[in-house]
């Protein structure tokens, strides 16, 4: 029933094949990482012909399970040089699953300068020239594709940053309104797509079928239990739907862990001006929409539409990490400007976390002043024009740091840190340092327990318990990503035992299995072991599982803490 679509960009062939035994029982991140380990030489050039780009829905994709339509994009990362899975919402994951497609594997390279688009439907998969889309931003690209293929299709695309193969380039996915607002942002995978000469993928879900279930009745009962847990939990049922992920600005600021002025301080004096409460207030005043989902089947609905002062659509609600990256980290407190930069990132096709950090590092290097809102937007415009300065900025924070002689560059494995300071959210610091993906909050979201006291209470300012917390969450997250579930389901799963049991029951009911909770943990461990194996073969060592030195030397106000978890402790994270 399930198949892999293999696309060779060298000879422009598209083939359908059965899922091999080595990949059985995997989906999403588990499948992208398995294919990378099995088929890609770890020392290859990330933007060369031997790298592969993989798109994979999760194990529960295409079903009536709430929040199960995520898609994983995998490749060797141009940014980190190691294994990478970037996760996104939007419609593509659910559509591919309903078409019975476990993965799309893009390999080889076309003749230089040639661009193509890939069309996928139930009975047809083909490449065709896309030179007419060359240099277009994601919004214009999708508008043109919608005219050709209609608004019922799902689209994936790259902006000019992907075509230029910049280290921060993202892959855009369309949402339920067919806008390119959902991005597999981290790791520069848009550059891999650009290196393959693939501008866009069109997924036509018409004539697709509901995914077959081994036990339909059992699946339905488990799905209802799972949805009940999501709606009853305070975070997923109340906080996120009302204020979006931006609700975290004031929470993390109060905790003293909101990185400000390129990680110099832990609090931002005017944080409330860009927090979720203000975002909600502005949206209501301008008659925008709150409480929107990013994909079919989302019942958390943590997004909305951000309108400008004239009431015109500007962007989706900026995520917390986006607001932080262009806001407090650059000492900017103008939500309109942040939304404009978010829109620019979506259109150019660059990761907001990496780009916001790059601008903050540039400010540290004297390119602009901290707090210079107009200056930050000017730097975004440079990226969009592809100027030499713009290409430096679009290559990520580490490159900017080297270009301007900046010592304090917040990256791990060359990937920029997200919006939680590791000195005062120490469990998150462990995840940043040790995740195979590079600095990534989603790889093991210790903030849940360190700050929000979900799933327990581990003091964020102390070293005790942080390694175990990060280890357990990295294992759980690898399994969640493999199932194709939204990361936010982790909140009820950590607090409500039946939410986890419902996931196990749904997997069993879909595939006719008899998995236990221990099997889910083993799955997460298996995925992490594959990723660590890839990185080891690529040349990574324990020295790569470290935070930048300044986090160990500079005390962060207001708690005056450093990151003091020892290297020896960090090296035990993966002692399963």
Spatial neighbors of 438 by CB under 8 A, at least 6 apart, are: 77, 79, 80, 82, 84, 186, 187, 411, 412, 413, 414, 415
β-bridge partners, 104: 5, 55
Spatial neighbors of 234 by CB under 8 A, at least 6 apart, are: none
Tokens linked to 422: 């590791």
What is the rounded CA–CA span in Å between residue 361 and residue 406?
Answer: 7
pLDDT in tens, 485-502: 999 999 999 999 999 999
Q: What is the pLDDT of residue 113?
A: 85
β 101-107/3-8 pair status: parallel
Q: What is the mean pLDDT of the chain?
A: 97
Spatial neighbors of 362 by CB under 8 A, at least 6 apart, are: 368, 379, 393, 400, 404
- Report CA-CA distances (Å) from 100 to 2, 27, 60, 97, 505: 5, 12, 12, 5, 21
Q: What is the pLDDT of residue 207?
A: 85
Q: Is 88 exposed, middle or buried (0-12, 13-18, 19+ CB in 10 A)?
A: buried
- Phi-psi region for residue 157, left (φ > 0), alpha (ψ -120 to 50) or beta? beta
Residue with tokens 């699953």, as numbered in its chain: 97
pLDDT in tens, 255-282: 999 999 999 999 999 999 999 999 999 9
Q: What is the pLDDT of residue 208?
A: 85
What is the rounded CA–CA span in Å between residue 58 and residue 523?
Answer: 13
- Report CA-CA distances (Å) from 519 to 406, 503, 516, 526, 574: 46, 12, 5, 10, 18
The Cβ of residue 241 has, within 10 Å, a number of other Cβ atoms equal to 21
Q: What is the pLDDT of residue 1?
A: 60
- The DSSP secondary-structure symbol of 25 reads T
Half-sphere exposure of 416 (CA within 13 A, CB side): 37
**Domains by residue range for the chain, with CATH:** 3-203 (3.60.9.10), 213-243+423-576 (1.10.599.10), 244-421 (1.10.569.10)
Q: What is the pLDDT of residue 209?
A: 81
Q: What is the pLDDT of residue 163?
A: 98
Taking CB atoms within 8 Å and a gap of at least 24, the contacts of 520-523 are 520/479, 521/475, 521/476, 521/479, 523/25, 523/30, 523/478, 523/479, 523/482
pTM above 0.95, yes or no: yes
Give pLDDT < 50 ranges for the chain.
none
Tokens linked to 259: 């990185």
């Amino acid at each position: 029933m399930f198949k892999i679509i293999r696309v060779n960009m060298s000879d422009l062939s598209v083939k359908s094949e059965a899922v091999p035994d080595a990949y059985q029982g995997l989906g999403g991140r588990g499948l992208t990482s398995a294919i990378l380990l099995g088929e890609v030489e770890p020392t290859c050039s990330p933007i060369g012909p031997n790298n592969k780009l993989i798109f994979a829905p999760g194990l529960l994709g295409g079903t009536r399970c709430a929040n199960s339509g995520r898609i994983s994009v995998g490749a060797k990362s141009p940014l980190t040089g190691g294994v990478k899975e970037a996760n996104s919402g939007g419609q593509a994951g659910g559509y591919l699953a309903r078409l019975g497609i476990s993965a799309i594997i893009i390999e080889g390279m076309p003749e230089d300068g040639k661009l193509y688009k890939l069309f996928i439907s139930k009975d047809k998969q083909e490449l065709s020239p896309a030179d007419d889309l060359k240099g277009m931003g994601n919004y214009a690209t999708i508008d043109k594709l919608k005219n050709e293929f209609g608004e019922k299709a799902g689209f994936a695309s790259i902006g000019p940053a992907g075509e230029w193969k910049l280290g921060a380039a993202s892959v855009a996915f369309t949402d339920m309104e067919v806008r390119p607002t959902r991005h597999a942002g981290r790791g520069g995978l848009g550059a891999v797509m650009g290196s393959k000469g693939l501008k866009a993928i069109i997924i036509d879900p018409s004539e697709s079928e509901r995914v077959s279930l081994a036990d339909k009745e059992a699946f339905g009962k488990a799905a209802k239990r799972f949805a009940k847990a999501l709606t009853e939990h305070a975070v997923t049922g109340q906080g996120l739907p009302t204020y979006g992920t931006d609700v975290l600005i004031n929470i993390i600021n109060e905790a003293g862990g909101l990185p400000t002025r390129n990680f110099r301080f832990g609090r931002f004096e005017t944080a409330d001006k860009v927090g979720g409460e203000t975002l909600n207030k502005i949206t209501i005043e301008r008659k925008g929409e709150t409480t929107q989902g990013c994909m079919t089947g989302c019942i958390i609905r943590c997004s909305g539409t951000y309108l400008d002062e004239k009431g015109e659509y500007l962007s989706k609600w900026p995520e917390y990490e986006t607001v932080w990256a262009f806001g407090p980290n650059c000492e900017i407190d103008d939500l309109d400007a942040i939304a404009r930069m978010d829109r620019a990132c979506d259109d150019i096709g660059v990761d907001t976390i990496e780009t916001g950090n790059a601008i903050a590092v540039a400010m540290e290097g004297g390119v602009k002043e901290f707090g210079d809102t107009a200056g930050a937007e000017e730097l975004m415009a440079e990226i969009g024009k592809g100027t030499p300065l713009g290409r430096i900025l679009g290559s990520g924070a580490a490159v900017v740091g080297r270009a301007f002689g900046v010592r304090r560059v917040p990256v791990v494995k060359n990937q920029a840190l997200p919006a939680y300071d590791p000195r005062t959210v120490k469990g998150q610091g462990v995840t940043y340092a040790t995740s195979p993906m590079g600095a990534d909050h989603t790889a093991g979201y210790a903030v849940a327990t360190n700050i929000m006291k979900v799933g327990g209470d581990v003091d964020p300012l102390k070293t005790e318990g942080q390694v175990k917390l990060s280890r357990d969450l990295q294992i759980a997250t690898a399994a969640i990503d493999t199932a194709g579930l939204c990361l936010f389901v982790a909140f009820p799963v950590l607090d409500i035992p039946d939410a986890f049991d419902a996931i196990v029951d749904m997997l069993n009911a879909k595939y006719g299995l008899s998995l236990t909770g221990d099997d889910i943990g083993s799955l997460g461990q298996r995925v992490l072991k594959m990723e660590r194996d890839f990185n080891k073969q690529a040349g990574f060592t324990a020295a790569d599982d470290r935070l930048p030195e300044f986090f160990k030397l500079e005390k962060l106000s207001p708690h005056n803490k450093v990151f003091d978890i020892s290297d020896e402790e960090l090296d035990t994270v993966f002692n399963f």
